[in-house]
Amino acid sequence: MHQEPLTAYFPSARPLDILEEYWGYSQFRFCQEQVINNILEGNDCLVVMPTGGGKSICYQIPPLVLDRVCIVVSPLISLMEDQVAALNARRLSAAFLGSAQNSRQVKDDAWTGKYQFLYLTPELATSSGPALASLHKRRGIALVAIDEAHCVSEWGHDFRPDYRRLGTLRDALPGVPIVALTATATPRVREDIVRNLGMHRGAGRFVESFERTNLHFAVRQKTSVAEAASELKEAAARNRGQRGGVKRCKPLALAVLQVPSTLIYALTTKEVDEIATYLNQPTVLNGRAGRYHAKMTPKERREAHTAFMRDDLDVLVASVAYGKCFA
């Protein structure tokens, strides 16, 4: 089936107007505007931009200009859920598909073009070529965004093998721009991304510095859970000082002392459970610690993630499943 490239478009609104209407910003940051214009001209793009730099804006605005569907491939279930919720809060229709999506209605609506933003796991994306081609013919697909694109090169084989096969989307959607986005990519990795995704020779390449001068990383070995809890108490005290003090009730109850949002990683699911149980004692976090690991049900994991993001939990104790977000 022949599919026309997106070289001719007649926007009803300028990208900047859409940015202001839905996101409330009066100007673009970094290379956002150049990326958007390249996509609207039908070009593939590789975007390397720091976390928090606004990569999502680059692929979320073109579909609104063109009134077509945006396909986003992401390896993280929790990230997809967060972005769908954020788009819905802006009155934009969005949904995600994957093993964590239990609604038959959402799945049916997604493939008929009801949602302007459709998030897919890489496994589903690589197995849905015919469905994507049908969606493009029926509704029109503005672009395919590959989030966390470094997975294609650096750890695609170990993390998500299907990331290495996302280039097959070019065969299913030959005229649709592919936009690869990441915050981490060396020159060698960038070349590997472009090659593996089958991006066109003239693909736009936009590389911003991903140095974050406002972030500090430190590694400190802990010999016991009690030692880690003690450091949380110290952090709570510092947090209290920055906020001008809080009402004291139970001297040892860290929740009262306003523990800053903290993510604790453990090597095994058993350690996750043990640490969370310890922290949830009345004299420690008093129930304000959650847990997240692959042996929990998808519903339990979603609830833990949501509670942590909403600040219903001060601490989330997790295995590496929180990074991979198994569902």
The model's confidence at residue 12, banded by pLDDT at 50, 70 and 90, is: low
Phi, psi of 285, deg, nearest 5: -100, -10
Q: Which of 3-12, 53-62, 151-160, 176-185 has the lowest mean pLDDT?
A: 3-12
Output DSSP code: residue 260. P
For the chain, how big is the Rg over CA atoms in Å?
Answer: 22
CATH assignment, 225-324: 3.40.50.300
Tokens of 148: 């966390």
pLDDT digits over 58-85, tens only? 999 999 999 999 999 998 787 888 899 9
C-alpha to C-alpha distance for 251 and 253, rounded to whole angstroms: 6
Question: CATH 3.40.50.300 occupies which residues in the chain?
Answer: 15-207, 225-324
pLDDT digits over 79-122, tens only? 888 899 999 999 999 999 987 788 889 999 999 999 999 999 99
pTM: 0.70
Contact criterion met (CB below 8 Å) for 143 and 132? no
Phi, psi of 182, deg, nearest 5: -160, 160
Domain boundaries 15-207, CATH class: alpha beta
CB atoms within 10 A of CB 109: 15
pLDDT digits over 209-237, tens only? 766 676 667 777 777 888 888 888 777 77
Quote the distance between the C-alpha of residue 63 and its chain's center: 18
